[in-house]
Amino acid sequence: MNILVIGSTGQLGWELQRSLVPLGNITAVDYPDLDLTQADSISHWVRDSRPELIVNAAAYTAVDRAEKETDLVEAVNATAPGQLAEEARALGAVLIHYSTDYVFDGRKGSPYREDDQPSPINAYGRSKLAGERAVQQVGGEYYIFRTSWLYSTRKECFLTKVLRWARTRERVRIAGDQVGSPTWARTLAEATAGAVKLMRERGKSWRENTSGIYHTAGIGAASRYEWARKILALDPHPEEQILTELEEARSVAFITAADRPEYSALDCTRFQETFGLFHTSWEDALKQALSWNNT
């Protein structure tokens, strides 16, 4: 199987390269070599590598900056996925595209299912929803994996920020009224690889019948404050911490350009039942992420 991984240097893309190696020959690419704002660049890489599987792990994820850079966020998150879907369908390839819990407004108050109505409240979420719909409109064999609060130990993210703050500040305030499903990039990459293996084994008709949107995130829910407390408790080097007070605060205490959904945890039952995968709680995954050697 020839596999094209887009966004290879990101949190998820780096892990995907490791997880997908047993399944085929991987072409891994990222910006600026492949520029998702340029149709010619997309066409070149897809047609040159002729993949049987395209995995798009690239996205514009600067949520606050997206409020001003609307043209760029739309090009990367909305237009490019549609073109990738068209290229995949023309080749008879499978497309896996990742989306976000931020397509929801956070007012439901319980984990979101795939059939819940999206209603994004920021530019980033709107662009990701537009990308989903562009892929769906093209059709073919596609899988849209929505995830939530992605993190790794390699790249700048909430986890690395909390660990850094604990070593540089005595007091830290974290929002306690934003709830999601923290997701380790390695767990998501391994689940993706498991799903791909099953897609290949079951064949084209099965893929056509199962194409669609799936929620793939750490099982369970936590507020950012609860997540931060758990990170600090599992810190492999607690002796380096100078933090003496972790304070729970409300989101209104932090001035941000973009609104965030208050409750965006995801229900992953459909993914689990279809692929028999992704049963790891967010707490167990976090423990593994902080204790394993992630080199």
Q: Are 114 and 212 in contact (CB under 8 A)?
A: yes
CA angle centred on 293, ends 290 and 295, rounded to 5°: 120
Residue 113 is classified by DSSP as P
> Which of these is catalytic: 124, 142, 214, 225?
124
Q: How many CB atoms lie within 10 A of CB 164?
A: 11
Q: Is 124 a catalytic residue?
A: yes
User: Using CB atoms within 10 A of its CB, is residue 48 exposed (0-12), middle (13-18) or buried (19+)?
Assistant: exposed
Short-list 268, 254, 119, CA closest to 178: 254
Pairwise CA distance, residues 274 & 271, whole Å:
5
Could you tell me the CA-to-CA distances from 118 to 107, 121, 219, 259 in Å, in that order? Answer: 11, 10, 20, 15
Q: How many CB atoms lie within 10 A of CB 217?
A: 33
Short-list 41, 40, 80, 45, CA closest to 60: 80
Could you tell me the CA-to-CA distances from 182 to 30, 79, 195, 226 in Å, in that order? Answer: 25, 27, 20, 11
User: Is the omega angle on the peptide bond into residue 238 within 30 degrees of 0, that is, cis?
Assistant: no
Catalytic residue positions, numbered:
124
